[in-house]
């Protein structure tokens, strides 16, 4: 919660348009679930969204929240923090470095940049707390995945 009325409404409008375009039904559950995530600044998990939706829609199931969040993700209306639905991954490189991550297969590689290490972080960030470190996450499609057909291509070329 805490996003401005104006911004929330803009997001709701985008939602209605996208959901109709996708040809899926506009249910009260989907409306309320999206309203919750669209008005949240805290990047909530499914359980938190569930609790907030229940305030207005006490009979909603956790299950429906899960399904709706993944649907919103597919529609490009929301995103996940870090790599979604994955196992914890580890790194023994403790030098200051950055990552390239493939959005299809999760391939992750290190890269270095002196320029990046020296970037200025806006002063306003200090209002959130003290800063320990910063690292850039570059998301793209690795060469191997680029060579394969994208499994997410729903329309067209199914001939």
Q: Please work out, in degrees rounded to the nearest 5, the angle formed at the alpha carbon of residue 134 by the alpha carbons of 142 and 143.
A: 5
Q: List binding-site positions.
A: 102, 105, 142, 145
Contact 57, 42 (CB under 8 A): no
Choice from 9, 51, 139, 148 touching a second copy (CB under 8 A): 139
Q: CA–CA distance from 112 to each of 93, 95, 118 (Å)?
A: 12, 9, 12
- Closest to DNA by CB, 13 or 125: 13
**Taking CB under 8 A as the criterion, which residues in 16-55 touch a second copy?**
34, 37-38, 40-47, 49
Choice from 1, 22, 26, 105 touching Zn ion (CB under 5 A): 105
- Closest to a second copy by CB, 20 or 109: 109
- Residue 135 C-beta: closest distance to a second copy, Å: 6
Side-chain-side CA neighbours of 51 within 13 Å: the count stands at 6
């Amino acid at each position: 919660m805490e996003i401005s009325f104006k911004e929330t409404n803009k997001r709701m409008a985008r939602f209605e348009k996208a959901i109709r375009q996708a040809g899926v039904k506009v249910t009260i559950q989907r409306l309320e679930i999206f309203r919750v995530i669209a008005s949240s600044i805290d990047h909530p998990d499914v359980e938190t969204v569930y609790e907030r939706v229940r305030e207005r829609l006490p009979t909603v199931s956790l299950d429906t929240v899960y399904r709706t969040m993944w649907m919103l993700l597919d529609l490009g209306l929301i995103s996940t923090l870090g790599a979604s639905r994955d196992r914890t991954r580890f790194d023994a490189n403790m030098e200051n470095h950055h990552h390239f991550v493939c959005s299809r297969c999760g391939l992750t590689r290190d890269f270095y940049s002196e320029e990046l290490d020296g970037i200025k972080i806006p002063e306003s960030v200090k209002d959130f707390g003290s800063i320990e470190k910063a690292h850039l996450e570059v998301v793209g499609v690795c060469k191997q995945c680029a060579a394969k057909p994208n499994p997410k291509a729903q329309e067209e070329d199914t001939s």
